[in-house]
Amino acid sequence: MIKDALRKLLSAQFKVEINKIRIDYPQTKFGDYSTNLAFTLAKQQKKSPTQVAQAMVDKLGQAQMLAKVEAKAGFINFYLSGQCLASVIGQILKEKRNFGHSDFGADMKVLVEFISANPTGPLTLGNGRGGFFGDVLANVLKSQGYHVSREYYVNDTGTQIENLGKSILAIKLGKKLDEDLYQGEYVKQLAKKITGENAVQVGQAAAAIILEEYLQPSIDKMGVSFDHYFSEKSLQQQGAIEHTLGILDKAGLIYHHDGATWLKTTKLGESKDDVLIKSDGQYTYFVCDIAYHLNKMQRGFNILIDILGADHAGHKPRIEKVLKILSSEIFWQGQIEILVNQLVRLVKNGQEEKMSKRSGTFVTLDQLIDKVGLDVTRFFFLSYALSTHLDFDLNLAQERSAKNPVFYVQYAHARLCSILKKAQQQGLIKNLVLSEIEFSQAEELALAKKLVQYPEILADTAFDWQVQRLPFYCKQVADLFHSFYEQCHVLPSDKNPIEKKVINSRLALVLACKQVLENCLYLMGISAPDKM
RNA sequence: GCCCCAGUAGCUCAAAGGAUAGAGCAACACCCUUCUAAGGUGGAGGUUACAGGUUCGAUUCCUGUCUGGGGCGCCA
């Protein structure tokens, strides 16, 4: 990886801590990589950044991977050598599916918890957004060597389950449903199947059916898989709640009031305290979630990542604070990150469609995937930072489907395959010589340099979790390839003979490009079609 | 009222504190006797909501204001 190599070079030469060195991709006229190191050193050395940069460039010996190093306005710009590009292209062709992978996180165990939708109804668009994000983040982390577990927390007990049961009982009796009960069509279907009179039991039976017949098929349809479904009920049965309460009590954070058990969240800086055990003896979601996270810590994970829906935004700060206390009580030294995906709004004919699981008025994720396809749905959701409010324009998603960015990327892949198929027929591929790769055309160079970035894209994403970087990278690769395609012919014909060396290099580039696109699309769970 | 998120081109969005803020869509002008035109090339489009501050440098960090969304239950 070039960025790492440059960091090592700079670190060794100038005695700077390696992880304090930033390497960026500048605009093309400023080279292939650049660093602002001179700015940060200028202050200590009491010289101008320009002077420092120039002195650094003078001291940097000509490394093999670099064609040129220059100091410009305080920045140090690096230009990759042709030799370096050729060797990375060769590396891509050798490593194939593994190109871009690393063992950076090899001694880290990560738990990614996502979707975790209540088993009280179908998956919503918001569930989809967090779901795809979690899935791809897990894929990226795995590619960087982390030991990743994917988990779905099933809220199979508690008030919402009881409400589901009540909804079904009311429908059976032909009664009108209260506002906080579930009104969707699927509830009526469930009512036909389920017998019983106890709301909790009926609710639990219904939840089991929903999980199996609604949620699991949707998860399959999403192309997502989990290592583990963690039942809230089982957590309670294990006595995990008492265990948790014991620790919190020892930390002096518990008191009783009005027949309920409370957590002194105010002591942790929140505006009000929270109930852990209701006066009727039932556990709240909050205490269960605390216990669940304690359980995760005790399972030996180093990093816990939760991806929560927008409706849990208010839950985030208080759980974070409690977990901080809890982890220090049990001497767990890991990292907890709670990510909240912002709302997905559905816009239809220029107007927002109000969605609610309870009222049953929503477009399900299934319906959306059926309508626009999994590839489009994934690419669309993955393209946006989790923190942005997302408007999904249904009309647009359908109308422009032929011009959707995902097709642009897939089309590039199909074109690559087409070239390779013909090259195969002409017997060109078996004659490929990796040691004779050389690029001279601007389009070849730009594409090759972009492919070289792929391992860095993955490493950066494993570090900052900005998954939208992947679809953007794919678009960039496709863009550069399409330009290359127009300008640089790969296959010779009678009318257009091409030098053997050029064919060899371009063919290698085409193979490498196809490989990188495939690898990246694979991590995003998007198909790479051979033809379109 | 308090808390969280956002505000960037006509629209949807990118951009680890870096150099002249980038893509796609929409609109405009060109390019198919050559590997897939679901493509390419060129131009147009911006006071990064507003006002201060920190910094060599701010879309990015801090403070305040405005606008939009979400959350503030012995629900999950």
The enclosing domain of A496 has a CATH number of 1.10.730.10
In this prediction, residue A359 carries a pLDDT of: 65
Same domain membership, residue A311 and residue A247: yes
In chain A, residues 277 through 336 whose Cβ sits under 7 angstroms from any atom of nucleic acid strand B: 278-280, 282, 284-286, 310-317
Rounded to two decimals, the pTM is: 0.95
- The verdict on A154 and A302 lying in the same domain is yes
Whether residue A336 is contained in a domain is answered as yes
How high is the pLDDT of residue A358? 63
A378 in any annotated domain: no
From the CA of A389, how many Å to the C1' of B66? 19
Q: Which of A309, A340, A371 is the last residue of a domain?
A: A340
- On whether both A140 and A212 belong to a single domain, the answer is yes
The residue among A340, A362, A395 that closes a domain is: A340
Asked if the structure places residue A102 within a domain, the reply is no
Residue A263 lies in a domain: yes
Domain for residue A358, yes or no? no
Residue A311 pLDDT > 90: no
Domain assignment present for residue A388? The answer is no
pLDDT at A486: 92
Q: Are residues A160 and A285 in the same domain?
A: yes
CATH code for the domain in which residue A146 is found: 3.40.50.620
A167 versus A359: the higher-pLDDT residue is A167
Average pLDDT for residues A388-404, to the nearest whole number? 72
Where does A279-404 have alpha helices with state H?
285-298, 315-329, 365-372, 374-382, 394-399
In this prediction, residues A330-345 reach a mean pLDDT of 91
A374-395 pLDDT per residue, tens: 999 999 999 999 998 888 777 6
Q: What is the reported pLDDT for A503?
A: 95
Residue A134 and residue A52 share a domain: no
Q: Beta carbon of A252 within 7 Å of strand B? A: no
Q: What is the pLDDT of residues A426-443, one digit of tens each?
A: 999 988 999 999 999 999
Q: What is the pLDDT of residues A64-92, one digit of tens each?
A: 899 999 999 899 999 999 999 999 999 99
Q: Does A135 lie in the same domain as A65?
A: no
Q: What is the span of the domain harbouring residue A334?
A: 109-340
Mean pLDDT of A116-120: 94
Residue A261: CB less than 7 A from any atom in strand B: no
The answer to whether the C-beta of A124 is closer than 7 A to strand B is no
For A210-236, what is each residue's pLDDT tens digit? Answer: 999 999 999 999 999 999 999 999 999
Instruction: Categorize the per-residue pLDDT at A180 as very low, low, confident or very high, splitting at 50, 70 and 90.
Output: confident
CATH number, domain with residue A21: 3.30.1360.70
CB count in 10 Å sphere of residue A328: 11
Residue A345 in domain: no
Question: According to the model, what pLDDT value does residue A295 have?
Answer: 97
pLDDT of residue A102: 96
Instruction: Compute the CA torsion angle A365, A367, A372, A377 (nearest 10 deg).
Output: 0
pLDDT attached to residue A146: 97
pLDDT(A349) > 70? no
Closest listed residue to residue A131, CA positions, set A309, A393, A358: A309
Domain count, chain A: 3
Average pLDDT over residues A11-27: 91
Same domain, residue pair A206 and A121:
yes
Identify the band that residue A184 occupies on the pLDDT scale cut at 50, 70 and 90: confident
Average pLDDT score over chain A: 92
Per-residue pLDDT at A515: 97
Q: Indicate if A135 and A38 belong to the same structural domain.
A: no
Alpha helices in A46-112 (DSSP H): 49-59, 82-95
What is the per-residue DSSP string for A410-453? HHHHHHHHHHHHHHHHTT-GGG--GGG----SHHHHHHHHHHHT
Same domain for A325 and A233: yes
Whether A116 and A193 map to the same domain: the answer is: yes
Measured CA to CA in angstroms, residue A157 lies from A163, A203, A231, A280 at distances of 10, 9, 9, 15
pLDDT category at A496 given cuts 50, 70, 90 is confident
CA distances from A249 to A254, A268, A322, A340 (A): 5, 14, 12, 29
Residue A366 lies in a domain: no
Using pLDDT thresholds of 50, 70 and 90, give the confidence band for residue A105: very high
Nucleotide nearest to A488 (CA to C1'): B35
Q: Give the residue from A65, A80, A95 where a domain finishes.
A: A80
Residues A251 and A173 grouped into a single domain: yes
Which chain B positions come under 7 Å from a protein C-beta? 2-7, 12-20, 22-26, 34-41, 56-57, 68-76
Residue A356 binned pLDDT confidence (cut-offs 50, 70, 90): low
Long-range interactions of A467-472: CB distance < 8 A, separation 24+? A467/A133, A467/A136, A467/A137, A467/A140, A467/A382, A467/A386, A468/A382, A468/A383, A468/A384, A468/A385, A470/A136, A470/A140, A470/A382, A470/A520, A470/A523, A470/A524, A471/A379, A471/A382, A471/A383, A471/A405, A471/A406, A471/A409, A471/A524, A472/A383
C-beta separation of A6 from A35 below 8 A: yes
If asked whether residues A333 and A252 sit together in one domain, one would say: yes
Q: Which stretches within A180-284 are classed as H helix?
A: 185-193, 199-210, 216-222, 232-237, 240-250
